[in-house]
Amino acid sequence: MTSFIDKLSAAWTANDSLLCVGLDPDMPKLPEQLQWEPNAIYAFCKEIIDATAGLACAFKPQIAYFAALGAEEQLEAICRYLHEHYPHIPIVLDAKRGDIGATAEQYAREAFERYRADAVTVNPYMGFDSVAPYLEWKDRGVIVLCRTSNPGGSDLQFLDVGGQPLYQHVARLVAEKWNTNGQCGLVVGATFPKELEQVRKIVGDMPLLVPGIGAQGGDIDATVAAGRTAAGTGMMINSSRAILYAKPLAGENYPQAARRVAQETRDAINRARTK
């Protein structure tokens, strides 16, 4: 299997894109014609995927939106569909798992065997032994929470740890000690471009998953300037709700509206890459 890092690098080039499309299916927001279908979540996500696959460097299903509705089998089907029809685009399972020992091993199996994800997000709060089981899957990505996009992240992530904020300590741990197989990435929010810039300086070319544009209001130009690598890549800039629930213009259906917003976002990111 192609490694996550190689697959992501190829997708950056093939689609000329740093846009990651988040799959957060919220039943009340789904189109009316899907509301009563038994496989509505699968049908909705499939339409979004088909509409945006040529514009994305990754897809990021958020597991909670599926599990809360007992729709894990539909998530499995979506991951199968992506592997069959768009095998060149990585799947990042947004699970934010954080546990130790045998439990972490089972979470890793869930992500990498059940859903066949190319990468998974994990929480470092319980230390290296909570992350180590994921690193055993050397061809998969392990994307560690670092400086998250939510305002409450500062409650802990800005605590002083030996003269540096905790989020910088996490970035150094991952870059200098945990990334032994070259498979790690970090989650750093677009809502904090100054911190994003600091993380990039610490971790070099390590890939960053960057939520917070679109509905959360992160600035694209500031995000790209702070987080891009010397090659102009290095990021999966995620947008979920703004694309999934784009309001159709006259004559559009919801997949066309999603594609339009995805293309506008991809193109805005690309313009920022040239500045």
- Residues written for the chain: 275
- The hierarchical CATH code for the domain 4-273 is 3.20.20.70
Cα 152 to chain centroid, rounded: 20
Quote the percentage of the chain above a pLDDT of 90.
Answer: 91
Q: Which residues are catalytic?
A: 96
> What is the reported pLDDT for 1?
65
Q: Give the largest Cα separation in the chain, rounded.
A: 58
User: Rounded to an integer, what distance in angstroms lies between the CA atom of residue 61 and that of residue 105?
Assistant: 21
49-60 pLDDT per residue, tens: 999 999 999 999
Burial class (CB in 10 A: 0-12, 13-18, 19+), 48: buried
Residue 216 has pLDDT above 80, yes or no: no
Give Cβ neighbours of residue 72 (< 8 Å, ≥ 6 apart): 66
Q: Where are the domains of the chain?
A: 4-273
161's tokens: 């740890």
94-146 pLDDT per residue, tens: 999 999 989 999 999 999 999 999 999 999 999 999 999 999 999 999 999 99
Whole-structure pTM value: 0.96
224-274 pLDDT per residue, tens: 999 999 999 999 999 999 999 999 999 999 999 999 999 999 999 999 999
20-34 pLDDT per residue, tens: 999 999 999 999 889
> What is the reported pLDDT for 63?
98
CB atoms within 10 A of CB 8: 25
Residue 2 has pLDDT above 90, yes or no: no
User: Rounded to an integer, what distance in angstroms lies between the CA atom of residue 252 and that of residue 260?
Assistant: 10
